[in-house]
Amino acid sequence: MWRVWSIDPHIRRQLTTQHGIVSRPQLVRAGLAENTIDRWVKSGRLIAIHRGVYAVGHFPPSPHAKTMAALLACGPRAVLSHRSAAALWGLIRYDGPTEVTAPTKRRRPGIVVHRHELTERDITCHYALPVTTPARTLKDLPTTSQAAPCTPGSRRQRSQIRSPERKAAPSDAAAASRHQEHSPAGGRSRSSQAKR
């Protein structure tokens, strides 16, 4: 049986830091030919989650694999935001479409893309996922009423919000490196703002 550990060490490192998810540009940079990637998809070695975003061999057990796939599908500067960010921080319960903020017009099933300005101060990492800070997340929550349907849990956001300080985590260098590697130009600074 083909095993994940038989592939390039560079890809293995990305799988470890990306919850078992990898993008086509990352595979190409690791030395895989486009036709090899297509062949791996047909044989089941790669499982397409979104266009150009794959799980390797099986859908990973990480609870954050779906979120990482959504971020990779929306480009190198995509950041988890709004209700999805609030759920990651433990501020609300939410199981609706993944919400991200990204300077892109890409549309993917199951993902709600917001386009507005973010600065470095608005972004951090939590569970190796680029995400808006608790303060920015609380600022964004009131704007989500028309973005996507609420789940039963998220309709009660105000009563469920808890102090974000208890959940805050330090910045994750591995996730920041992953975002730079995913960029075709070698990674652009997040200080360049995402715009609508």
Tell me whether residue 189 is in a domain. Answer: no
Q: Are residues 96 and 148 in the same domain?
A: yes
Are residues 46 and 71 both part of a single domain? no
- Residue ranges for the chain with pLDDT beneath 50: 1-5, 146-196
Indicate whether 177 belongs to any domain.
Answer: no
**Do 130 and 44 sit in the same domain of this protein?**
no
| 52 & 110 share domain | no
Render the chain in DSSP notation, one character per residue.
---GGGS-HHHHHHHHHTTTEEEHHHHHHTT--HHHHHHHHHHTSEEEEETTEEEESS--S-TTHHHHHHHHHT-TT-EE-HHHHHHHTTSS---SSEEEE-S-----TTEEEE-----GGGEEEETTEEEE-HHHHHHHGGGGTTTSPPPTTGGGHHHH---GGGT-----HHHHHHHHHHSTTS---TTSPP--
Q: Are residues 166 and 76 in the same domain?
A: yes
- Domain containing 32 equals 4-56
pLDDT score, position 32: 85
Q: List, for residues 48-72, the tens digit of each pLDDT value.
A: 999 999 998 776 778 899 999 999 9
Model pLDDT, residue 71? 96
Q: Is the pTM of this model over 0.75?
A: no
Query: Is residue 20, in this structure, part of any structural domain at all?
Result: yes
Number of domains in the chain: 2
